[in-house]
Homo-oligomer: A and B are copies of this chain.
Amino acid sequence: MPPLPKTSQETILKVASELADAEGLRGVGVRAIAAKLQISPGTLYNVIGDIDDIILRVNERSLIGLRDALRNAAATERDPMTNVLAAAKAYVDFVRANPRRWSMLIEYTLATDKELPPWYHKTLDETIGTVDQLLRPLIAGRRDRQRAVTILWAALEGIASLTATGKLSLVSDEDPHVLVKLLISRFLGTYQSEDITEDRREAVSRPRRKPADPSARRGRA
């Protein structure tokens, strides 16, 4: 196949990704992309859209990359905990491999009036859904599991953020792999064991309840 035309979404997003890898969010600008491609700034607006669209699409690709990394890591049918730990390792590896692109995903927030497009939501749900599936054998209760997913997702983002931006060295220079493993083994290790917290008790005492906000589980129907 011939090399992609200079003016295509594919090419533009590729260049934008390279810029993000090299210089972070600050380096991704319409003029920089256009210059690197030797096209006019205006063309970007014909082909994709404004800078928000471009960055969001790059971020979506990062999300897809992470999603696939998580799936691959946990593909084999070992025991649940091993799977989760493998996925966590893959998460850390992925962030390590793409520090600036990942921190762009974390740093970038839309203007207060705009909001994230549906296709971004969809990919985000798929990625988080992967985590949910990993936890399913470990935590049966839907609500409990959703809480665990949220906490782990947030904690991994936090560790990744500190790592990627270099701020972790301010806190400690621990290996992220060690931290994540510690987090998971401690946080997840106590499920299905002795003590039951208030929240869990609540979940157990009410076996059936109506589903929560239906819009919140798009990916699974």
Contacts and interface: CB of A to CB of B under 8 A. Distances in A.
B146 A157 contact: no
A179 B151 CA distance: 6
Contacts of A158: 153-159, 161
Copies of this chain, count? 2
A216 B173 CA distance: 9
Most buried by B among A125, A153, A185, A186: A186
B112 A151 contact: no
Interface of A: 23-26, 103, 106-109, 111-112, 116, 121, 124-125, 128, 146-147, 149-151, 153-159, 161-162, 165, 168, 170-174, 178-179, 182-183, 185-187, 189-190, 195, 197, 199, 212-213, 216
Nearest to A124: B170
Contacts of A24: 109, 112
Contacts of A26: 111-112
A162 B157 contact: yes
Contacts of A185: 197
